[in-house]
Amino acid sequence: MALGNSKLRLLALALVVFSGTALAKRDDPARLELATDATTASLAEQRVVIEGAIKDADDYVELRAADRKQLRDALDAMAGRLEGAGSLAALPDADRKSLLAQQDEVNGILRTAHADSRLVCKREKEIGSNFRRNVCMTVAQRRRMSEQAKQFSPPQS
């Protein structure tokens, strides 16, 4: 009997551990945060973190190819500017403002893609049945379905 209880406790502990890791999803989008003394090395470190987050299919599944290219182009341009000056503090004011504007652009793309990739599940009644089922879609998928439905619905007068 004691052996059965220990197996049951071990199973319960395993379920708790694995369910916590399965639900471990990033609540906040990845961000690019350049300090005043940022260098190409610190930008490269943050870029690795951002690209790792983008590869996570759950958090950035709705990141479009065009946005991905725009993100990489902005990061490349920022790295080029920092490499020429050595650090963010060494850049002239106009270049520093431009680089910080690119940082805002990168963060905006990441924030939008993260928000659009959020999975929302709703219990919906099946047509022709009293049974309900879970229907899970990303925010962007629901928005696209809504826009398509508006296209095919007759105009309201």
Per-residue pLDDT of 120-151, as tens digits, reads 899 988 888 889 999 998 888 888 888 888 88
Confidence label for 28 from pLDDT (cuts 50, 70 and 90): confident
Q: Check if the beta carbon of residue 50 is closer than 8 Å to that of residue 114.
A: no
Distance CA 66, CA 137 (A): 22
Place of tokens 């902005």: 74
Distance CA 131, CA 39 (A): 58
Please compute, for residue 141, the number of CA atoms within 13 A of its CA located in the half-sphere on the CB side: 11
Is the pLDDT at 8 greater than 70? The verdict is no
Average pLDDT over the chain, rounded to an integer:
81
Per-residue pLDDT of 34-78, as tens digits, reads 888 888 899 999 999 999 888 866 788 888 899 999 999 999 999
Distance CA 129, CA 147 (A): 26
Q: Check if the beta carbon of residue 59 is closer than 8 Å to that of residue 25.
A: yes
Domain boundaries, the chain: 40-116, 119-152
Is the pLDDT at 10 greater than 80? The verdict is no
